[in-house]
Structure formats: C-alpha cells, structure tokens
Amino acid sequence: MAGQSFNFGRIFLQPSVVFFRSQLSFGFVNRKPVLPGHVLVSPLRVVKRFCELTEEEVADLFTSTQKIARVVEKVYGASSLSIAIQDGPEAGQTIEHVHVHVLPRKKGDFEHNDDVYKALDEHDKQEDSLVAETGSATNKGLRSEEEMAKEAAYLADLF
C-alpha cells in the first residue's frame, strides 16, 4: 500500500508490509510468522487494550479480521484458523497496540493443538526483546522488508 507509515504501538510499519486497509483497521504481514500465512490485524488508532476500542472500532476490527481470515485460509491451503488476541501483558501482549493474530492451520502443524498459544507467546517475547535490545526487529532470523513486501503485495491483490 502506498502512502505513509503505519503505527503498530511504538513500531513504525512501512506501507509495503500492509496488505489490507478498512476505514478503521489494517492488516499486515508478520515479521516472524509462527506458521506460513500468520498475519496481524490492528485498529488504525493506537489503543493498548481491547476494551478501550470504540464500538465502531470493534465492529471494523472483527469484520476486517473475518475478511482477511477467509483469504488467508484459502491462500495458504488451511483447513482451520486460530484467531487470537493477547489483551494485556499477563495475557502475553508485548506490543501495546490491540492486534489480532490470524494463523492458518493444517492437521499436524503442532503436536498438541494448544501448542500454538505457547508458540505465539514465545514468538512475541523474542521479537519484543530484539526491539528492546537493538531498537529494531531486524536480523536474527526475522524476515526482510523485501520478503514481507512480496507477501503483502500478493495478499493485497486478493482484496
């Protein structure tokens, strides 16, 4: 998506990693996906906790999540989806901006189904520690801006 950068908490996302935008929400690819096709959906307004969203933002966020989920499930050949919000630090939220994880799921992708939540928790902590240590989430096994932009461009063409 052309234009200005998007705020994701204290992180500035390049428009090239954003593949979907509605009136109040946006969808973007993940720097370090837990599974192929793991994307995020967030309100445009930076809001720390889910209950701080307006009714309009909640409706838009979930409508956007539903639209994105349909596409991601089909594109990545999934048979199911895990859709999750980690709302607050004790729930595993590390970026202080409401966001919905959309993960396309396939039989056998985790030994135990609920292991996806452990993977999400560890994933977010690893990325947040990289930001804290380096001021950015580059390198150390994370995808490049080019890789992310390629996936975002592909997904954007489906909306």
Pairwise CA distance, residues 155 & 31, whole Å: 15
Instruction: Give the H/E segment covering residue 128.
Output: helix 115-134
Q: CA-to-CA distance for 34 and 101, rounded, in angstroms?
A: 10
Active site residue 99: yes
Q: How far apart are CA 69 and CA 62, in angstroms?
A: 10
Q: What one-character DSSP code corresponds to residue 143?
A: P
Query: CB-based contacts of 3: which residues, under 8 Å, 6+ apart?
Result: 15
For the chain, 159 residues long, give each residue's pLDDT as a single digit of tens.
557 789 999 999 999 999 999 999 999 999 989 999 999 999 999 999 999 999 999 999 999 999 999 999 999 999 999 999 999 999 989 899 999 999 999 999 988 888 888 888 887 665 544 444 334 444 556 899 999 999 999 999 999
Q: Which of 38, 99, 101, 123 is catalytic?
A: 99
